[in-house]
Amino acid sequence: MVLRRKDKHRYLLLFVNDEISLNFQDTNNKDKPKSITILRRRFSELFGTIEFEKAGIKFILENNLGSRHFLIIKCKLESIDNMLTAIALSHPPLTTIKISGTIKKLTSSMELEMSRLNLAQKNCF
């Protein structure tokens, strides 16, 4: 039996709506959105601190994200169910757009979502 050296991870692309991004800014840590703090707290409260540490949740800072509406978080594959549950039960609501094994695939799908969003906004006015 060969031990696998690396744990498998998944990247989650989350959408944060206008109301949340404007009203829920973290005053202590400007780099980290408040929604991430809420999500981490919800996860640790629901599944315990041990599961929280095992999940290895990380907020990915991407320079080319281009929009404050999108967030990328990384977690271990084995904790993906708990992570999705915490996202579904978080308030203010967060929407999971895509789950991917690589950040490259995720950013490409995010560009597609952004163009869709821009198109929808243009059609509104």
Partner 1 sequence: MQETEQTHAINSALVLRFKNKPKKPLFFKYLVVLHESETKINSKIPFFDIFSLNSWNTYKIMLKQLKKLNRKNIGIEIKIREIRNCNSYEVGKWIKSIKEIYKFCKLTDNQFILSSGAETNYETLSGKTFDSLLKVLEIEPIKYWNDLEKWINTKSRVYYGPS
The residues that touch partner 1, with contacts defined as CB under 8 A, are: 15, 17, 42, 45-46, 80-85, 87-91, 93-96, 99
Q: Please state the closest distance from residue 39 (CB atom) to partner 1, in A.
A: 12
Identity of the residue, 7 or 45, whose beta carbon is nearer to partner 1 in the bound complex: 45
Cβ-based nearer residue to partner 1, 87 or 107:
87
Cβ at position 83, least distance to partner 1 in Å: 8
Q: How far apart are CA 71 and CA 33, in angstroms?
A: 9
Q: What is the 3-state secondary structure (H, E, C) of the chain?
A: CCCCCCCCEEEEEEECCHHHHHHCCCCCCCCCCHHHHHHHHHHHHHHHHHHHHHHCCEEECCCCCCCCCEEEEEEEHHHHHHHHHHHHCCCCCCEEEEEECCHHHHHHHHHHHHHHHHHHHHHHC
| Cβ 26 to partner 1 shortest distance, Å | 19
Contact 69, 121 (CB under 8 A): no
- Give me the least distance between CB of 29 and partner 1, in Å please: 22
Q: Which is nearer to partner 1, 25 or 44 (CB)?
A: 44
4 or 125: whose CB is closer to partner 1? 125
